[in-house]
Amino acid sequence: MNSKEAIDFLENQVTKDRDGLPEDLFLFVSRLTPLISVDLLIQDDQDRTLFTWRDDEIFGKGWHLPGGVIRHNEKFADRIIKVGQIELGADLAFDPEPCRFVQDLDASKRDRGHFIAFLYRCRLLSQPPDESIRYSATGEPQVGEWAWFSGKPESLLKAHEVYEPYFI
């Protein structure tokens, strides 16, 4: 199979009705080009920052800011709104311009090793409806749990240490 045939085959694997690429194709794309993402700096009136817990083979285990990779033909604003809904089940307001952008490059990673991330200041318009995903501080956090922190959480993911000046 030549490259044109391979591309035609891959294009036929992607349907327009899905939110993003199939996982194996997404990982392949991430080996060829940087991924563009949004990270959400959600702070409350007590200057605490909202973090969610993740534990995966790409980034490891720790607290991180909610965020997500922008899909083809998707606006930054649409991805920010979707991240609020998907990760927190909440509605957000956000500043129209990012307060920072960073490049995260880890050449040792085969997959998802190069990101260009835009940090947006956000505010919750509604509280996450499912209190069961609020971290209770009684044990090891579970994937998807969220919590408010004053300052930097102890187990902050390395990739989000660049945002430390924003964690009041």
| pLDDT top residue among 137 and 166 | 166
Name the nearest CA neighbour of 84 among 116, 42, 44, 130.
Answer: 42
Token code pair at residue 10: 């891959």
Instruction: Write the pLDDT tens digit of every residue in 103-112.
Output: 999 999 999 9
Q: Is 67 a residue whose pLDDT tops 80?
A: yes
- What is the model's pLDDT at position 9? 86
Q: HSE (CB half, 13 Å, CA atoms) of 27?
A: 7
Instruction: Write the pLDDT tens digit of every residue in 140-167.
Output: 899 989 999 999 999 999 999 999 999 9
What is the amino acid identity at position 40? L
Q: Is 75 a residue whose pLDDT tops 90?
A: yes
Please give the share of the chain, as a percent, with pLDDT higher than 70. 96
Q: Is 120 a residue whose pLDDT tops 70?
A: yes
- What is the model's pLDDT at position 131? 67
Q: What angle do CA 29, 42, 151 make, to 5 degrees?
A: 105
- What is the model's pLDDT at position 130? 66
Compute how many other C-beta atoms are within 10 angstroms of the C-beta atom of residue 94: 20
**Mean pLDDT estimate for the chain:** 91
The string of DSSP codes covering the chain is --HHHHHHHHHHH--TTSSS--HHHHHHHHHHSPEEEEEEEEB-TTS-EEEEEEEETTTEEEEE--EEEPPTT--HHHHHHHHIIIIIS--EEE-SS-SEEEEEE-TT-SSS-EEEEEEEEEEESS--S-GGGB--SSSS--TT-EEEESS--TTB-GGGGGGGGG--
Cα 156 to Cα 31, 35, 99, 118, 159, distances in angstroms: 25, 21, 20, 18, 8
Q: Is 17 a residue whose pLDDT tops 70?
A: no
Q: What mean pLDDT is predicted for residues 83-89?
A: 92
Please give the share of the chain, as a percent, with pLDDT higher than 90. 68
What number does CATH give the domain 22-166?
3.90.79.10
- What is the model's pLDDT at position 18? 64
